[in-house]
C-alpha cells in the first residue's frame, strides 16, 4: 500500500487530493507518478479502471508553472465524454494551484472555445480532430507545451484518429515529455511510440477487478425520453433506503434532482460547481437520511465515504468501465447486499460488454416496470410498515378508535382505506429533462476501415463539423 505522501507530490496537490478523498495510490499511480515527475517518457499499458487519469494528471499539475498563462500540457482523448471527464478531474486535482484546465471537442461552438483559449489555460484536454483544427487556425500555440499525454491510444486508433495524432505530435516541441496510455499495444501504436518518444519506460498494470461481489447488477433497455418514468417506477417498486442516481453532466444532475422533488421524492444533487460547504451539507443530509436520493456526477462522487447505500441507478451509462466501478462501489459495502441498475439506449448497448469484460460479471436484463407494478411496490412498502407497527405492539392508545371504525365498517374496507391513504400512488406530474446525446457507437471493424465518428470528416480538405448546440454543464473552467 502506497500513500500519496510517499510519492514526492507537492503540498498543494496533496491538499487537493485529500479534499477529493484520495489517500492510497493505485498500482499505476505509485509506478507512474515518481517517474513522470522526473520527466521520463512513459508507456502505461493499463485497462480503464486502474486510476490512470490521476496517474498522469498529478505529476503534470505539479510541473505546471502557474505564473505563466500559457498552454504547458496537452492531453489527447478519443471522445468528448472522456475529454470532459478528464478535464473535470484535472481541475479538481489542480484546485490547490488554481490552474486553468480547458476541454476542447467537436460539436461545441468553436468561437466559444477560442474565447476561452484567450484566457490562457495551462492544460488542454481535447479530441484529435478539434485540437488539429485549432492548431491549423493558430488559436492553439504549442511552443510552450512541455508535456503531452495520449489517453486510450488504442481507442483512438480504432476510431481512425492515428493520422491526426501524428500531425499533432509533429507540431509539439521535441524537448518535451510524452506519456502514452493504452490497454493494448497494436502495431500502429508501437510505431507512434518509436517515432515520437525518447526511450520510454513501460509500466504494465492489470485492471482493478470488482471487489464487491454482493452487488446485483442489472441493465434496463429504455429510450431516452422514457428514462425518468422508468426511474421513478423503480424507486416506487424497490423502495431503496438510500439511493444514488448518476448522471453524465452537471445540468443533468440539476434537472434530475428538481424533477424528482416535483414527483414527491426528497432528492438533492451534487456536482463540481457546488461550493465545498454546500457539498458537505448535501452529504450530511444524505447520510442522516433526511434526503433519500442523491443525484451525482462521476467526479463529484469519487472518494466519498458513504455507507448504507442500497441502490445505485446509472441514469446515463458511463463512457468507461472505471467510472462504472466507482459508481457501483458506493453500494454493497460492509457485507450488505446492494443493487446497481444501468439504463441503456439501443445505441449504447455495446458499452455493456466493455463493462462486463472489465468487471468479469454479467449484467442481467431487467424489463422496464409498468405503472401497475409501481403501485404494487408502494402497497407492499405500506404493508411492511403496518406489519412492523403491529409487531411493535404499542397500539393501546389506538384500539378504541379502531373498535369504533369496525362497528360502522367491515374490516376489509377499513384496511383497504388505510392502505389507500398511506400508499404513495405513482405521480405523473410532467417534468422536462434536456435530452442527452447517446455515447458514440463503438465499432468492431478493422482499424484501417473505420471512419471518424466524432468531430473530424475525412476529406481531401479538412473541414470542421458544423457546430451543434451542446447542452450541459461547462466541461471545464479557466480561472480569471
What CATH number does the domain containing 187 carry? Answer: 3.40.50.300
pLDDT tens-place string over residues 18-27? 887 777 888 8
294-306 tens-digit pLDDT:
999 876 665 555 6
Q: Give the total number of structural domains in the chain.
A: 2
438-449 burial: b if 16+ Cβ within 10 Å, else e: ebbebeeeebee
On whether both 21 and 159 belong to a single domain, the answer is: yes
The domain boundary residue, chosen from 205, 231, 247: 205
Of 328, 260, 317, 349, nearest to 436 by C-alpha is 317
Q: Are residues 15 and 154 in the same domain?
A: yes
User: Domain boundary at 146, 180, 205, which?
Assistant: 205
* Residue 337 resides in a domain: yes
C-alpha cell at 4: 500519496
Q: Last residue of some domain: 161, 186, 205? A: 205
Domain limits for position 317: 215-371
Residue 415: predicted pLDDT: 85
The answer on 185 and 242 residing in a single domain is no
In this structure, the answer to whether residues 34 and 173 fall within a common structural domain is yes
Does the pTM exceed 0.75?
no
Task: Say yes or no: 193 and 259 in one domain.
Answer: no
Whether 159 and 292 share a structural domain:
no
Range 403-409, long-range pairs (CB < 8 A, 24+ positions): none
Q: Is residue 474 part of a domain?
A: no
3-state secondary structure of 73: strand
Query: What gap in Å lies between CA 365 and CA 337, rounded to an integer?
Result: 19
pLDDT tier at 451, thresholds 50, 70, 90: very low
Contacts of 457 (CB under 8 A, 6+ apart): 463, 465
User: pLDDT tens across 21-78, in order?
Assistant: 777 888 889 999 999 999 999 999 876 656 788 999 999 999 999 999 999 999 999 8
The answer as to whether 355 is a domain residue is yes
Residues 270 and 304 in one domain: yes
Are 220 and 140 members of one domain? Answer: no
Position 462 confidence tier, pLDDT thresholds 50, 70, 90: very low
Q: Are residues 54 and 164 in the same domain?
A: yes
Residues 8 and 45 in one domain: yes
Amino acid at each position: 500500500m502506497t500513500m500519496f505522501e510517499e510519492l514526492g507530490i507537492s503540498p498543494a496537490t496533496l491538499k487537493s487530493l485529500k479534499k477529493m478523498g484520495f489517500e492510497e495510490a493505485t498500482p499505476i499511480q505509485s509506478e507512474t507518478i515518481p517517474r513522470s515527475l522526473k520527466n521520463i517518457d512513459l508507456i502505461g499499458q493499463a485497462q480503464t479502471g486502474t486510476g490512470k487519469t490521476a496517474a498522469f494528471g498529478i505529476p503534470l499539475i505539479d510541473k505546471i508553472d502557474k505564473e505563466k498563462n500559457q498552454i504547458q500540457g496537452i492531453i489527447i482523448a478519443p471522445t468528448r465524454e472522456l475529454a470532459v471527464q478528464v478535464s473535470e478531474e484535472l481541475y479538481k486535482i489542480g484546485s490547490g494551484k488554481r490552474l486553468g484546465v480547458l476541454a476542447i471537442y467537436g460539436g461545441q461552438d468553436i468561437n466559444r472555445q477560442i474565447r476561452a483559449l484567450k484566457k490562457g489555460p495551462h492544460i488542454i484536454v481535447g479530441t484529435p480532430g478539434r485540437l488539429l483544427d485549432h492548431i491549423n487556425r493558430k488559436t492553439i500555440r504549442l511552443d510552450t507545451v512541455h508535456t503531452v499525454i495520449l489517453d486510450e491510444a488504442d481507442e483512438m486508433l480504432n476510431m481512425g484518429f492515428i493520422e491526426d495524432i501524428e500531425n499533432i505530435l509533429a507540431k509539439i516541441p521535441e524537448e518535451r515529455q510524452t506519456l502514452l496510455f493504452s490497454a493494448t499495444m497494436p502495431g500502429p501504436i508501437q510505431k507512434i511510440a518509436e517515432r515520437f518518444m525518447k526511450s520510454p519506460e513501460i509500466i504494465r498494470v492489470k485492471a482493478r477487478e470488482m471487489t464487491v461481489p454482493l452487488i446485483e447488477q442489472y441493465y434496463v433497455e429504455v429510450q431516452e425520453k422514457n428514462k425518468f418514468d422508468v426511474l421513478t417506477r423503480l424507486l416506487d417498486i424497490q423502495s431503496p433506503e438510500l439511493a444514488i442516481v448518476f448522471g453524465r453532466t452537471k445540468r443533468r444532475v440539476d434537472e434530475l434532482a428538481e424533477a424528482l422533488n416535483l414527483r414527491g421524492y426528497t432528492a438533492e444533487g451534487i456536482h463540481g460547481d457546488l461550493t465545498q460547504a454546500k457539498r458537505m451539507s448535501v452529504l450530511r443530509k444524505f447520510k442522516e437520511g433526511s434526503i433519500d436520493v442523491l443525484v451525482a456526477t462521476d467526479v463529484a462522487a469519487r472518494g466519498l465515504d458513504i455507507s448504507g447505500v442500497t441502490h445505485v441507478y446509472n441514469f446515463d451509462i458511463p463512457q468507461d468501465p472505471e467510472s462504472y466501478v466507482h459508481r457501483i462501489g458506493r453500494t454493497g459495502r460492509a457485507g450488505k447486499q446492494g443493487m446497481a441498475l444501468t439504463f441503456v439506449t439501443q445505441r449504447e448497448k455495446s458499452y455493456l460488454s466493455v463493462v462486463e469484460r472489465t468487471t468479469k460479471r454479467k449484467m442481467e436484463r431487467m424489463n422496464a416496470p409498468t405503472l401497475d407494478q409501481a403501485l404494487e411496490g408502494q402497497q407492499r412498502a405500506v404493508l411492511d410498515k403496518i406489519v412492523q407497527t403491529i409487531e411493535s405492539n404499542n397500539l393501546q392508545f389506538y384500539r378504541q378508535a379502531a373498535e369504533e371504525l369496525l362497528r360502522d365498517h367491515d374490516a376489509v374496507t377499513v384496511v383497504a382505506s388505510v392502505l389507500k391513504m398511506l400508499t404513495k400512488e405513482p405521480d405523473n406530474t410532467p417534468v422536462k429533462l434536456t435530452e442527452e446525446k447517446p455515447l458514440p457507437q463503438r465499432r468492431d471493424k478493422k482499424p484501417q476501415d473505420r471512419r471518424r465518428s466524432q468531430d473530424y470528416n475525412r476529406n481531401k480538405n479538412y473541414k470542421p463539423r458544423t457546430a451543434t448546440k451542446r447542452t450541459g454543464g461547462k466541461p471545464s473552467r479557466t480561472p480569471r
